[in-house]
Amino acid sequence: MASSKFLSILAVVVVITSIFSIGLVYLSARSLFSAISGYATSTGEANLTVESQATINFTTISISWGSGRVTPGANGASLSSVEGTNNVSGGNWSLITAGGLRLVNLGNVNVTLNLSGTKTAAAMIGGTGPVYKWNVSNLEASSCLNVTGGTDATPLGIYYDVNTTATALFCGRFRYADASDSIMINFNLTIPSDSIVGALGDTITATALATT
Amino acid sequence: MAKLQKFVVVLLVLTIVLSAVSVVFNLIIFKMSSDNSKVLKQVSSSNSGNIGLVVESSSSSGGSGG
- Same domain (yes/no): A41, A62: no
- Same domain (yes/no): A101, A200: yes
Question: Cα dihedral angle (A55, A139, A123, A165), rounded to 10 degrees?
Answer: -50
Q: pLDDT digits over A109-124, tens only? A: 999 999 999 999 999 9
Check if the beta carbon of residue A94 is closer than 8 Å to that of residue A186.
no
Q: pLDDT digits over A78-87, tens only? A: 999 998 878 9
Q: How far is CA A154 from the centre of its chain?
A: 14
Alpha helices in A52-186 (DSSP H): 121-124
Q: State residue B61's pLDDT score.
A: 46
φ, ψ dihedrals at A160, nearest 5°: -125, 150
pTM of the model: 0.67
Chain A residues within 8 A of B55 when measuring between CB atoms: 68-70, 191, 195-198, 200
Residue B9 touches chain A, beta carbons under 8 Å: no
- Same domain (yes/no): A132, A199: yes
What is the Cα–Cα distance from A158 to A138, expressed in whole angstroms?
12
- Same domain (yes/no): A124, A155: yes
**Beta strand segments in B1-66, E:** 44-55
- Same domain (yes/no): A150, A173: yes
Q: Is A20 exposed, middle or buried (0-12, 13-18, 19+ CB in 10 A)?
A: middle
Residue B61 touches chain A, beta carbons under 8 Å: yes
DSSP A70: B
Final residue in a domain of this structure, among A12, A29, A49? A49
Band of residue A91 on the pLDDT scale cut at 50, 70, 90: very high
Q: pLDDT digits over A2-44, tens only? A: 777 877 887 788 788 888 888 888 887 777 776 665 555 566 6
The nearest alpha carbon in chain A to B59 belongs to: A197
What is the Cα–Cα distance from B64 to B66, expressed in whole angstroms?
7
- Same domain (yes/no): A140, A164: yes
Side-chain half-sphere exposure of B46, counting CA atoms within 13 A: 8
Residue A74 touches chain B, beta carbons under 8 Å: no
What is the Cα–Cα distance from A170 to A127, expressed in whole angstroms?
29
- Same domain (yes/no): A92, A174: yes
What is the Cα–Cα distance from A210 to A212, expressed in whole angstroms?
7
Domain count for chain A, please give it: 2
Q: pLDDT digits over B28-39, tens only? A: 877 776 665 555
- Same domain (yes/no): A201, A143: yes
User: Does the beta-carbon distance from B61 to A72 stay under 8 Å?
Assistant: yes
- Same domain (yes/no): A28, A86: no
Mean pLDDT to the nearest integer, A199-206: 95
User: Does the beta-carbon distance from A209 to B44 stay under 8 Å?
Assistant: yes
Q: What is the extent of the structural domain holding A98?
A: 56-210
What is the Cα–Cα distance from A128 to A132, expressed in whole angstroms?
13
Which of B17, B51, B56, B60 is the best residue to mutate to test the A interface, defined by the most A CB atoms within 10 Å of its own CB? B51
A47 pLDDT above the threshold of 70:
yes
- Same domain (yes/no): A17, A113: no
- Same domain (yes/no): A22, A66: no
The nearest alpha carbon in chain B to A31 belongs to: B29
- Please count the residues of chain A: 212
Q: Report helix, strand and coil shares of chain B as percent, to nearest 5.
A: 60, 20, 20
- Same domain (yes/no): A129, A178: yes
